């Protein structure tokens, strides 16, 4: 049973004359109460509304403190079931500052990590605090209620048709891609799209270009699928085509992130886009375009998808709802050439596909009724702000020790380290303090390039939160 917290948060202890703002005092009070064992893992904490009323402070102030505590893994928000002290902290000791340090060591964090919690700087996670849960719950409930008998039968292997219509319409407007819903296949995330491509068009031992550094999970997936990957370096114009052609001109496919190269953030230049398309046509090769977070671009005009330039139907366009909605959905999609629809349908029939139609129906309603466009607009503003907070905090804390690569978009920063410093050691030290920092070298195949770290910023809830995290990172990487 959930225990309700009895920690003393009396207003006398929160003082307006202190140097720290009220939300920060509140944040520290909860953090210290957890460290001292006064609040136990699983304990329910008061709702924002009741705590604000009890302390006679604004709800926004309590919310700010709670967001920081959630963002740092101290609290777990469970929607209507209320917020509790994270069960992940269980068994981490009960008294004093020593416990405080221990609760955030990598061992305790890693051993007790559950997939439903965020760690600071976690890569690839959207702003979970800003997701419109109420709207989502309403649409999900409605999708369930209005489910007709037709929708209860075995689903179309290509996915829920209204969602495929909504995606085709969205791609036409936002990504410059002209396609019909028949070309759209709903998949179990990006990996589902890769699986569909592998099963339909590729064969084991096929040679494919892969960006270096590049999305490590796609690389792992393709290697396990038996592909023969050729790492191709990336410079400030994206994939180095010349090198790729010198190394393996006869490759069967190329896997690229043209809008926002993952993880360096550069865009594939127009001359290289055209060159890449020309190569694919000449070689009858496939280009797999991973457009995973193109919606989030904060400077300059949005870049159209590579697919929008594809006259000869050589591009397989893949995207995901993991960044624009949430990864737990496990929904992505693939746009295939018109001439290959039947082949894809045939292989989709033999794969597990995107699963239940209920979440697909909810996404369709979310898109059709304008919530999706509104959510993206809101997130663009929010992420630009969160990116700025983290950049400022890192600059203040680390000075010139970290050099931040300017990204036009995305939800993570790439910070380069001084040449002599190992990024794996830096990341390991951070991880050992519960910070989910990733080493750039883990995303590289070649060993020759300088080290850096990837820092997700989507769940940083304010400038003070950014400063606290930057300081934690600094201290963690100082002491090792
Ligand atoms: C480069 C890249 N592609 C695709 C994805 C999405 O993958 P999935 O749909 O499996 O969550 C991510 C997620 O972080 C990513 O970073």
Mean pLDDT on 324-336: 97
pLDDT of residue 356: 93
Question: Residue 37: inside a domain, yes or no?
Answer: yes
pLDDT in tens, 119-142: 899 999 999 999 999 999 999 999
Asked if residue 202 and residue 146 are part of one domain, the reply reads yes
Q: State which ligand 1 atom lies nearest to the alpha carbon of 332.
A: 9
Question: Residue 190: inside a domain, yes or no?
Answer: yes
- pLDDT confidence bin for 103, thresholds 50/70/90: very low
Asked if residue 402 and residue 278 are part of one domain, the reply reads no
pLDDT of residue 118: 75
Please give the Cα distance from 129 to 116 (Å, whole number): 13
pLDDT of residue 52: 84
Asked if residue 328 and residue 226 are part of one domain, the reply reads yes
pLDDT of residue 135: 97
Please give the Cα distance from 7 to 21 (Å, whole number): 20
Please give the Cα distance from 239 to 254 (Å, whole number): 10
Domain end, chosen from 353, 372, 391, is at 372
Q: Is the pLDDT of residue 108 over 80?
A: no
Host domain of residue 337? 135-372
Q: Is 332 in the pocket of ligand 1 (CB under 6 A)?
A: yes
Higher pLDDT, 480 or 364: 364
Q: How much is the mean pLDDT over the chain?
A: 89
Question: Residue 112: inside a domain, yes or no?
Answer: no
pLDDT of residue 151: 80
Q: Is 409 in the pocket of ligand 1 (CB under 6 A)?
A: no
Question: Residue 455: inside a domain, yes or no?
Answer: yes
> What is the Å distance from ligand 1's center to 262 Cα?
9
Q: Is 74 in the pocket of ligand 1 (CB under 6 A)?
A: no
Q: Is the pLDDT of residue 12 over 50?
A: no
> What is the Å distance from ligand 1's center to 292 Cα?
6
Percent of all residues in the chain with a pLDDT value above 70, rounded to a whole number: 90
Question: Residue 164: inside a domain, yes or no?
Answer: yes
Mean pLDDT on 176-190: 97
Q: Is 331 in the pocket of ligand 1 (CB under 6 A)?
A: no
Question: Residue 130: inside a domain, yes or no?
Answer: no
pLDDT of residue 259: 95
Q: Is 354 in the pocket of ligand 1 (CB under 6 A)?
A: no
Weakest mean pLDDT among 111-115, 312-316, 382-386 = 111-115
The residue whose C-alpha atom lies closest to atom 14 belonging to ligand 1 is: 124
- Looking up residue 429, the CATH number of its domain turns out to be 3.90.1150.10
Q: Is 320 in the pocket of ligand 1 (CB under 6 A)?
A: yes
- Looking up residue 360, the CATH number of its domain turns out to be 3.40.640.10
Asked if residue 287 and residue 140 are part of one domain, the reply reads yes
Asked if residue 97 and residue 83 are part of one domain, the reply reads yes
Higher pLDDT, 62 or 171: 171
Please give the Cα distance from 335 to 317 (Å, whole number): 5
Within 8 A by CB and 6+ apart from 193, the residues are 185, 187, 316, 318, 320, 332, 333, 334
Asked if residue 389 and residue 341 are part of one domain, the reply reads no
> What is the Å distance from ligand 1's center to 146 Cα?
32
Asked if residue 205 and residue 291 are part of one domain, the reply reads yes
Question: Residue 451: inside a domain, yes or no?
Answer: yes
Percent of all residues in the chain with a pLDDT value above 90, rounded to a whole number: 68
Contact 236, 211 (CB under 8 A): no
- pLDDT confidence bin for 106, thresholds 50/70/90: very low
- Which residue in 73, 71, 74 sits closest to 30, CA to CA? 74
Which alpha helices (H) appear in 146-248, and where do they start and end? 161-174, 189-201, 216-224, 241-248
The residue whose C-alpha atom lies closest to atom 6 belonging to ligand 1 is: 190
Number of domains in the chain: 3
- pLDDT confidence bin for 76, thresholds 50/70/90: confident
């Amino acid at each position: 049973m959930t225990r309700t917290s009895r920690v003393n948060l009396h207003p006398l202890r929160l003082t307006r004359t202190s140097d720290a703002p009220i939300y920060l005092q509140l944040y520290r009070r909860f953090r210290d109460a957890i460290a001292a064992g006064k609040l136990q893992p699983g304990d329910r904490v008061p709702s924002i509304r009741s705590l604000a009323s009890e302390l006679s402070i604004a709800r926004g102030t309590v919310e700010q403190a709670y967001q920081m505590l959630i963002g740092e893994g101290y609290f777990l928000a469970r929607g209507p079931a209320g917020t509790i002290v994270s069960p992940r902290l269980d068994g981490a000791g009960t008294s004093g500052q020593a416990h405080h340090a221990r609760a955030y060591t990598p061992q305790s964090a890693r051993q007790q990590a559950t997939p439903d919690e965020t760690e600071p700087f976690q890569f690839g996670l959207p702003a979970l605090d800003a997701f419109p849960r109420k709207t989502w719950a309403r649409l999900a409930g409605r999708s369930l209620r209005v489910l007709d008998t037709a929708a209860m039968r075995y689903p179309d292997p290509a996915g829920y048709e209204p969602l495929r219509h909504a995606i085709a319409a969205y791609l036409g407007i936002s990504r410059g891609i002209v396609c019909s819903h028949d070309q759209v296949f709903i998949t179990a995330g990006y990996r589902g799209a890769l699986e569909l491509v592998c099963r339909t068009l590729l064969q084991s031992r096929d040679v494919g270009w892969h960006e270096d550094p590049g999305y490590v999970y796609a690389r792992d997936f393709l290697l396990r699928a038996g592909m023969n990957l050729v790492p191709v370096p990336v410079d400030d114009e994206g994939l180095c085509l010349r090198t790729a052609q010198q190394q393996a001109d006869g490759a069967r496919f190329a896997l690229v992130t043209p809008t926002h190269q993952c993880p360096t953030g550069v865009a594939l230049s127009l001359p290289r886009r055209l060159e890449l398309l020309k190569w694919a046509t000449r070689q009858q090769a496939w280009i797999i375009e991973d457009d995973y977070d193109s919606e989030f671009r904060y400077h300059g005009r949005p870049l159209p998808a590579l697919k929008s330039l594809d006259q000869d139907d050589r591009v397989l366009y893949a995207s995901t709802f993991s960044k624009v909605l949430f990864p737990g959905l496990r929904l992505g999609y693939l746009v295939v050439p018109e001439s290959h629809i039947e082949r894809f349908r045939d292989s989709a029939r033999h794969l597990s596909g995107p699963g239940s139609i209920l979440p697909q129906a909810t996404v369709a309603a979310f898109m059709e009724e304008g919530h999706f466009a509104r959510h993206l607009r809101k997130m663009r503003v929010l992420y630009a702000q969160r990116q700025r907070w983290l950049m400022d905090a890192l600059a203040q804390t680390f000075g010139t020790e970290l050099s931040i690569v300017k990204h036009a978009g995305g939800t993570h920063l790439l910070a380069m380290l001084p040449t002599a410093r190992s990024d794996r050691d830096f990341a390991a030290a951070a991880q050992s303090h519960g910070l989910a920092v990733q080493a750039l070298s883990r995303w590289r195949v070649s060993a020759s390039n300088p080290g850096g770290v990837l820092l997700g910023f989507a769940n940083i809830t304010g400038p003070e939160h950014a400063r606290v995290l930057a300081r934690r990172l600094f201290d963690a990487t100082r002491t090792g």
